[in-house]
Amino acid sequence: MSHCRQQRSGRDFCKKEQCCPLPPCDTRFEIKGVLAMKSVEEFRFMKRCLLLAKRGEGNVHPNPMVGCVIVQGDKVVGEGYHEKFGGPHAEIIALKNAGKKAKGATMVVSLEPCVHFGKTPPCTDAVIRAGIARVVIASRDPNPLVGGKGIRRLRKAGVQVKIGVLQSNTQALNEKFFKYMRTGLPYVGIKLAQTLDGKIADGAGTSKWISSKAARTVVHRLRHEYDAVLVGAKTVLSDNPELRVRLIRGRDPVRVVVDGRLSLPTTRAIFNTAAAPTWLFTSSRAAGAKKEKIRKLVSQGVRILSVPSEHRLNARAILRTLAAEGVSSLLIEGGADTIDGFINQSLADKLYLFVSPKILGGGLNGFTFTTPRLLRTSIHCTTPTVQTIGEDLLLELLFIHD
């Protein structure tokens, strides 16, 4: 899969809050005739690249978020970021902003410049033509179309190249892209909203609303950032969700429903595909036995994807099918049954856990595995980052896989 990178146009790259004054000239040094920056300056400008890159979040699929800054002496002379899939690359717009000042300058960029023809010509050729003397790169590109080739092309042309400045930060920013490129499977996030005692719904099955509107707004932001959002049949029956992006301005993800028995009524809101696409996974057995329902759903615009199975669908098979369709990230908003398969097959990458200051004392649990684990075999996560969102807490954790 090729990827292009676009960035903002215009010459608004030197706003007061965006520029970092550099120390005097004696903090720089020569490397083979090239005036280079010390590490502290490289970190500073790479942080700026990452801030720029993040502006493209949710708009650049299937591409990574990329930012670029061009520095001449102690001044930023050009910058750019990938704004929307199919547009010019971050490096290209930064070079355009820099103009003739790019000659002999240092380019700081968060991902290795591309060397292949995709939506646009290779960035490496433009970098070389502009006379950039040195390129500081956060991370190699995991895309096999690039993967080190851009770095080799630059060095062959006599451009000094340094790699690894804030590498982990760049890879964390583009965690979905790196996972997809390295494994061929979508990055999987799981979102749960629960009470203090771990309930995702009360005893009557009501879950609207456990979390605050502020927390729900964050969920809509997550939907915007993921390619697809998945729920199981029970969630569709109990909540009748639309799974669209409404509380913020953003794109609607592909809506994925897992219904192994093909039991859902065709009148559920999620099967109204006029606003957003819906894909339904079902078992090959159900698809063969309920052809009339299949025809009805297809006539409504629903895409049917059958997986060889009796009823319960394999999570890995679902991910492989989604990956083959170009889905590089998946947000799961289903209940305990849906979550079970992804977590216990070590297919989940991140957990977004919203905790509301409510206690029910009973109801539906968020985590109920088909085969409960012992303490020694429990699933481990990283130490969470914690934010206060309205009246709720948001814990973000990464699943630790052996």
Q: Which tokens belong to 66?
A: 């990329």
At 38 the pLDDT is: 66
250 pLDDT above the threshold of 50:
yes
Closest to 79 (Cα-Cα) out of 114, 113, 53, 115: 53
First to last CA, the chain: 28
Please check whether the domain covering 25-174 is classified as CATH 3.40.140.10: yes
**Dihedral angle at the C-alpha atoms of 206, 351, 261, 280, nearest 10 degrees?**
100
At 37 the pLDDT is: 60
325 is a catalytic site residue: no
Region 184-398: CATH code: 3.40.430.10
Q: For the residues 366-391, what does the mean pLDDT come to?
A: 92
378 pLDDT above the threshold of 80:
yes
The Cα 147–Cα 111 span in angstroms is: 10
Please state the length of the chain.
Answer: 402
What is the side-by-side order of every strand in the sheet holding 228-232? Answer: 303-307, 278-283, 254-258, 228-232, 329-332, 187-195, 350-356, 392-398, 385-389
The Cα 344–Cα 17 span in angstroms is: 45
At 6 the pLDDT is: 37
Confidence of residue 199 (pLDDT cuts 50, 70, 90): very high
Cβ-based burial of 378 (10 A; exposed 0-12, middle 13-18, buried ≥19): exposed
Cβ neighbours, 10 Å, residue 62: 19
At 36 the pLDDT is: 55
Choosing from 41, 83, 91, 333, which is the catalytic residue? Answer: 91
Residue pair 91/109 in contact (Cβ under 8 Å)? The answer is yes
Confidence of residue 311 (pLDDT cuts 50, 70, 90): confident
CATH 3.40.140.10 location in the chain: 25-174
Closest to 49 (Cα-Cα) out of 10, 116, 94: 94
Taking the CA of residue 88 as centre, how many other CA atoms within 13 Å lie in the half-sphere pointing to its CB? 16
The Cα 385–Cα 382 span in angstroms is: 9
Question: H helices of 251-290, where?
Answer: 284-289
CATH 3.40.430.10 location in the chain: 184-398
CA 372 and chain centroid, separation: 30
List, in order, residues 6 or more apart from 132 with CB less than 8 Å away.
70, 95, 102, 103, 104, 105, 106, 107, 159
Taking the CA of residue 123 as centre, how many other CA atoms within 13 Å lie in the half-sphere pointing to its CB? 29
Confidence of residue 27 (pLDDT cuts 50, 70, 90): very low
- Higher-confidence position of 117 and 184: 184
Lowest mean pLDDT among 247-251, 383-387, 390-394: 247-251
Lowest mean pLDDT among 82-86, 240-244, 246-250: 82-86
Q: Which helix (H) or strand (E) holds 402?
A: none
15 pLDDT above the threshold of 80:
no
11 pLDDT above the threshold of 50:
no
At 205 the pLDDT is: 86
